[in-house]
Structure 1
Amino acid sequence: MPAEPDILREALTRALAALVTELRTRAEGPMDDQWIVRFCREQNRGVSDVSAHVKKRALLPAYWDLKRSRPDLWRSWNVDDELEARLVSVLQAKPRRTASGVATVTVIAKPWPCSGSCRFCPSDLRMPKSYLADEPACQRAEQCLFDPYLQVSSRIRVLAQLGHPVDKVELIVLGGTWTDYPEAYRRWFAAELFRALNDGLGDAATLGRRNRRRQYEQAGFTLWQEEREWTAPSDPQLRTELQARVNAGELTYNEAFPQLYGPATPWAEVSRWQRCSSNALRAVQTMNETAPCRCVGLSFETRPDCVDPETLWSLRELGCTKVQIGVQSTDVSRLDGLSRGIAGETIDDAFALLRLFGFKIQAHQMANLPGATPATDLDDYRRLVSDPRFEPDEVKLYPCSLIEGTGLVENYREGRWRPYETEELVGLLVNELAATPRFVRVSRMVRDFSAKDIVAGNRQANLRQDVERRLRDRDLPVQEIRFREVALAPEGPSDLRLRTLRYFTTVSEERFLEWVAEDGTLHGFLRLSLPVLPAVATEPVLPAVARPSSTPARADAAMIREVHVYGRAARLDQEGQWSQHRGLGRELVEEACRQARAAGRVSVAVISAVGTRGYYRALGFEDDGLYQRRFLD
């Protein structure tokens, strides 16, 4: 028999009281996950009923419940602010999630036809093209009917319950090629992201979720009472039959799409109100500048052939600061055999335009494509991160996996493609990470595909840990950002020094300013771009009214493309325990302005996120259309 709720509740209360006493008397010594596990084990000693055992994941919700429902008891413990902060820090679940300084929330757009037909791309009809239903973010999105408000609101609530600050949120929007979606839907999607952050964690968010769910019910969607998940009232057998035909090559994703999401479905009904005006979008953005949860970064993904000035202006109007671009390979001959349909100069032009608009560039690179070898993949990667035509700021490494229903299955069955053995793949990734410049961050090394979805290819979910362990075992020097970032280390910024790395692209001189400690750990950085002639336009910098055919860059101005301070996230207007909120970002900006002035630039622009506009105004920047800028004395 499971323990009575009151029995478990009292056990958790006793454990919290013991933990507060331990924290009050313990001045030194590590209190990491292993310590808290031992603490819980001690609390459970002598308790035969396993269901009444204290577990770490239950302690933080018990703390929130205690403060809310038993305030007299909580006050009797005499817990001051400093002690309470230590308590929450110890109980925080999965602290790595905010170790980069912000809370990251991934949001998935709804299923939609794709303009591409890449042979390696999955075609799961439950998802937007290239995504699979068992990926964690996709599971959460489907439960929310891919609604951006529900996804963001639910996710920040969960993160807050786990003890993470959510007042600084980076939003990552995935779902295939963003520009394939209708313009009105794109505006609505972005506006709902901001509205969810504006409503935050209070009653407004609860009411907002309730009203949105009522809208879906009225459109014909139903709720699974057992699992508390939303689903469309479609015929499961029809979906299974269509997916089987797609997997067999009898139908494409785009051909099957209308039968599940077309005019006769609830999806068509809700699409009538999934639209938004530009004025309404700007209104929620303005509110977010002072909201309880502020957007400090917003990214969308697209293809190189969809990048043009008009598209990039529209992304800036949405508040976008980073673009994920599906390069896959810089060897165009390799892409030609995969129905990619992208010319080499198209990739070059996309990188140049993204940089001139000030966007942070995250490139997707796919190893193990047909015709590749570990040696050619390494050459391809080195070209991506060092050739002046490319040099992205971030990279996602996606080793090719064989998924049922892709065109690559034919290559596999005919013996024209094979997945790398584990040792081959790990060896390649070790060499790629070692070859990564210090201004590049490798954000991912593997897709979150479920092992059961992979017909052939890597199934190792913790591939990165294996790669980094081998790098350390071989004592290879690694300059890549994520490998160096301070993350959860306890070092303070007292021993930091500021240094600058210069490198050149086809359209700019780039300067990577970084705060590093004596042991090499990275505490913060800034990306400063100095556009060069003849790549830049001669018209006034940052026009208040966007010109679709122009870029915002000019030769007498510099552009700050990113400022990031690492360390466990600190709340707004509070001093952090590590690097955050100690003036490191301000000093980076001031140094960037000094260097821009010395380089002959008369102003510095910044591609600020909506939620960081106030921060840059305090540093002397003025609003200028879709950017902010500061004139140099």
Structure 2
Amino acid sequence: MSSHKDNEIKGSILFLEKEKAYREILALILERKPKTAKELASIKREICKKYSLDDFPRNSEILEVAAEEERKEILYILVKKPSRTLSGVAVVAVMTEPRPCPHGKCTMCPGGPEENSPQSYTGFEPAAMRGRMYNYDPFDQVKARIQQLDSIGHNTSKIDLIIMGGTFPASPLEYQESFIKGCLDGVIDQKTNTINESIQLAESSKKRCIGITVETRPDTCSLENLKQSLNWGVTRVEVGVQIANDGVYNRINRGHTVKDVTHAFKWLRDLGLKVTAHVMVGLPGIDWKEELNDFKLLMKDPRFIPDELKIYPLMLMENTKLFEEYKEGKYEPLTFDETVKRVAEYKLNTLPSIRIKRVLRDIPAPRIFAGPKKSDLREYAQRHIESLGKKCQCIRCREVGHQQIKGIYPSEKDIELIHREYDASDGKEIFISYEDTSQDIILGFLRLRHPSQDIVIDEVKENPFSIIRELHVYGAVVGVGEQSDMRVNWQHRGYGTKLIDEAIELSKSNGSELLLVTSGIGVREYYAKRGFDKLLPYMARKI
């Protein structure tokens, strides 16, 4: 008993000593303002030596002893992976329970219920492992991820929720509703009785869900499913396009056609949803010249032209049909150098209105038998592009937050309003943006659609309308109602309102009487302050 008491006392003394040491580290950070990780490590080492601490303190532990005002001053050096919130939102990815794809399995596809992982995932990706840790419970996954981001210094007041796990819209409707409700409950940190109650509370909660993304296949993008998803707050759909080639689809047992892709894109756009295309590099059954031409088709053909891309070079994994073909000599994976050059060509052919969200799947290298294993593939491709004296024009490469990391800041005098118009899915798209044209930096943008004649939105059948599919102003996250740092942040400085005003004028000139917005649940209040009313699942304004 005495020994136990002694251990408790020793533990308390050690805790107090550590807390005192962490406060001293904090004081030195505030005083010396270290600019590099090396300078920060030097401060930690100095205090650890003074207090004879065996463990090097984590950044999250320093943040825990900081007062709110101190925290704001030290985040610049203590936030790990600042790119996670540089685009203006905190991304929270959650994983659905393992389910099979309705069509079966593509030849390169890993995972599935028989391997205790969602199909197309190995089960060892960070999000998949978190899902398994919390028994795929959406509430627990969301809450844990938010707490993790908070602990390493990220602002989580604006949350972009990504529902991963394959073909979510093919799940039973009851499961979809329950899962999204659980996610929203995690954001508002409160368990509710119905999804409508969750949505209502999420509109004005402390943390706001600014968007919900689901993954699916082109052939499950039915109008009925998509409309239901909109009612639950979904704002973006990631579509597994892979390549626009029916021959390759047959070769890999994809189970859908190019026509399914074009139908999906049209319905998604006309409903006002954002469209992310997953494309794969190095698929079997096609040579490089034809593959690149098919990618250029995605960029130029009005039936396609996505808003965003995820570029996934093929990774060969054991326990797949393609692995058996490889052993039989019927498939040869790309080398890393070949992959770098192909990804670079994809980037060079990407339009300035498209954002490349990801390059490479988040799969641990030991799980990959052949194919690209280096997680910094994007950087290799970028260096290859620079060696050619060229530049990627995608949104991400031009975002103000990513430029500021390099010490490049926009100049107010060079900021211009830019219009890029193009035909897409039998309608007209206008990409409106504020850009520093001298340095090619994008501060924010709006996607306006004048839809096709095939009206799919029942709520506005009698009114000519246009629809804002996306509004985004870049910069590190600024909390709801907070003011931005004028040098490094471009949110909450009026650019969003100016972009909306421009969309109103363009819609009027197109003959529209109504302007709709596909608004994230947590952004409805923002639009209400700008003259929009609820016409659920949209916000609407007469013009």
What is the TM-score of this pair, normalised by structure 1? 0.78
Instruction: Tell me which amino acid in the other structure corresponds to 1:574.
Output: E
Match of 2:27 among 6, 17, 23: 17
Amino acid at match of 2:109: C
Cα distance between partner residues in 2 of 1:493 and 1:582 = 15
Of 116, 119, 124, 1:126 maps to 116
Contact kept, 8 Å, 2:401 with 2:476, in 1: the verdict is yes
2:189 maps to 1:186: no
1:591 matched to 2:502? The reply is yes
CA distance in 1, matches of 2:37, 2:272: 40
Check the 8 A contact 2:21/2:51 in 1, yes or no. Answer: no
Structure 1 residues not aligned, in runs of 5+: 24-29, 68-78, 209-275, 544-551
CA contact (8 A) 1:194 1:288 kept: yes
Find the aligned partners of 2:427 and 2:45 in 1 and give their Cα distance.
58
Distance 1:471 1:34, change over 3 A: farther
Residue matched to 1:530: 450
Partner of 2:517: 606
**Which residue of the partner structure matches residue 60 of structure 1?**
63
* Residue in structure 1 matched with residue 139 of structure 2 by the alignment: 149
CA distance in 1: counterparts of 2:462 and 2:308, whole angstroms: 24
8 Å CA contact retained: 1:531, 1:554 = no
Counterparts of 1:557 and 1:302, CA distance in 2: 28
Residue aligning to 1:37:
41
Q: Following superposition of structure 1 onto structure 2, how do residues 53-92 of structure 1 map, counting pairs within 5 Å?
A: 53-63=56-66, 67=67, 81=69, 84-92=71-79
Equivalent residue for 1:261?
Answer: none
2:41 maps to a residue whose letter is V
Q: Distance in 1 between matches of 2:92 and 2:425?
A: 33
**1:307-322 equivalence runs, <5 A:** 307-322=221-236
1:542-581 → structure 2 map (5 Å cutoff)? 542-543=458-459, 556-577=464-485, 578-581=489-492
Instruction: Write the mapping of 1:189-588 to structure 2, written as runs, cut at 5 A.
Output: 189-199=179-189, 280-488=194-402, 489=404, 491=409, 494-495=412-413, 496-517=415-436, 518-533=438-453, 535-536=454-455, 542-543=458-459, 556-577=464-485, 578-588=489-499
- Spell out, residue by residue over 1:230-273, the C-alpha distance to the aligned partner (whole angstroms, 9 max, x if none): xxxxxxxxxxxxxxxxxxxxxxxxxxxxxxxxxxxxxxxxxxxx
Q: In 1, Cα distance between the equivalents of 2:196 and 2:137?
A: 20
Equivalence for 1:255? none
Contact map agreement 1:542 1:625 (CA 8 A) in 2: no
Query: How far has the Cα of 1:498 moved from its partner?
Result: 1.3
Amino acid at match of 2:211: G
Whole-angstrom distance in 2 between the partners of 1:409 and 1:53: 44
Instruction: Give the superposition deviation at 1:332.
Output: 0.9
Instruction: Quote the offset at 1:472 in angstroms.
Output: 2.6
Which amino acid letter does the alignment assign opposite residue 10 of structure 1?
A: K
Please say if 1:630 is aligned against 2:541: yes
Q: Residue 64 of structure 2 aligns to which amino acid in structure 1?
A: P
- d(CA) in 2 for partners of 1:456, 1:554: 56
1:101 aligns with 88
Q: CA deviation at 1:17?
A: 1.9
The aligned counterpart of 1:258 is none
CA distance in 1, matches of 2:273, 2:461: 12
CA gap 1:594/1:37 in 2 versus in 1, 3 angstroms: farther
SS of the residue 2:174 aligns to: helix
| Superposition TM-score, scaled by structure 2 size | 0.91
Among 110, 126, 131, the alignment partner of 2:97 is: 110
SS class of match (1:402): coil
Structure 2 Cα separation of the partners of residues 555 and 335 of structure 1: 40
Alignment RMSD, CA only? 2.3
Uncovered stretches (5+) of structure 2, i.e. residues with no partner:
1-10
With over 3 angstroms needed to count, the CA separation of the structure-2 counterparts of 1:185 and 1:615, relative to structure 1, is: same
In 2 relative to 1, CA 515–129 (structure 1 residues): closer, same or farther, beyond 3 Å? same
Which range moved further: 383-392 or 52-61? 52-61
**Could you tell me how far 1:40 is from its partner in structure 2?**
3.0
CA contact (8 A) 2:398 2:442 kept: yes
> What residue in structure 2 maps to residue 71 of structure 1?
none
Residues 1:542 and 1:494: Cα distance change in structure 2 (over 3 Å): farther
Q: What do residues 140-177 of structure 1 show as CA deviations (whole Å, max 9, x unaligned)? A: 11111110000001111111111111111000001111
Relative to structure 1, the CA distance from residue 476 to residue 460 in structure 2 (aligned partners, 3 Å threshold; closer, same or farther) is same
**For residues 119 and 532 of structure 1, do their structure 2 counterparts lie closer, same or farther at Cα, with a shift above 3 Å needed?**
same
Q: How much has 1:284 moved relative to structure 2?
A: 0.9
CA distance in structure 2 between the aligned counterparts of 1:372 and 1:60, rounded to whole angstroms: 52
Q: Deviations over 1:597-623 (max 9, x none)?
A: 122211111111111111111111111
Aligned-partner SS, 1:301: strand
User: In structure 2, how many angstroms separate the alpha carbons of the residues matched to 1:428 and 1:420?
Assistant: 10
Distance in 2 (alpha carbons) for counterparts of 1:609 and 1:348? 25
Instruction: Give the conservation status (yes or no) of the 8 Å contact 1:171–1:298.
Output: yes
Tell me, yes or no, if the aligned pair for 1:302 and 1:323 is still in contact at 8 Å. yes
How far off its partner does 1:134 sit? 1.2
Q: After alignment, is 427-436 or 516-525 more displaced?
A: 516-525
d(CA) in 2 for partners of 1:420 and 1:32? 37
Q: Within 2, Cα distance between the matches of 1:555 and 1:379?
A: 40
Per the alignment, do residues 56 and 167 of structure 1 end up closer, same or farther by CA in structure 2, a change over 3 Å counting?
closer
Alignment check: 8 A CA contact 2:280 2:311 kept: yes
Q: CA deviation at 1:122?
A: 0.6
Task: Give the partner amino acid of 1:581.
Answer: H
The residue that corresponds to 1:214 in the other structure is none
SS at match of 2:313: coil
Aligned residues of 1:40 and 1:56 also touching (Cα < 8 A): no
Q: Secondary structure at the match of 2:241?
A: strand
SS at match of 1:457: coil
Task: Give the counterpart letter for 1:167 in structure 2.
Answer: S
Once residues 426 and 462 of structure 2 are traced to their aligned partners in structure 1, the CA distance between those partners, rounded to angstroms, is 11
Give the match's secondary structure for 1:487: helix
Cα distance in structure 2, aligned partners of 1:422 and 1:482: 23
* Paired amino acid for 2:528: R
Residue aligned with 1:169, SS: strand
Contact 1:356 1:507 survives alignment (8 Å): no
Is 1:51 paired with 2:54?
Answer: yes
Letter in 1 for 2:450: L
- How far is 1:192 from its partner? 1.0
What is the letter of the counterpart of residue 447 of structure 2?
Answer: R
Separation of aligned partners in 1, 2:462 and 2:330? 48
Q: Tell me, what secondary structure is at the counterpart of 2:369?
A: strand
**Superposition deviation, residue 57 in structure 1:** 4.6
Q: Which residue matches 1:72?
A: none
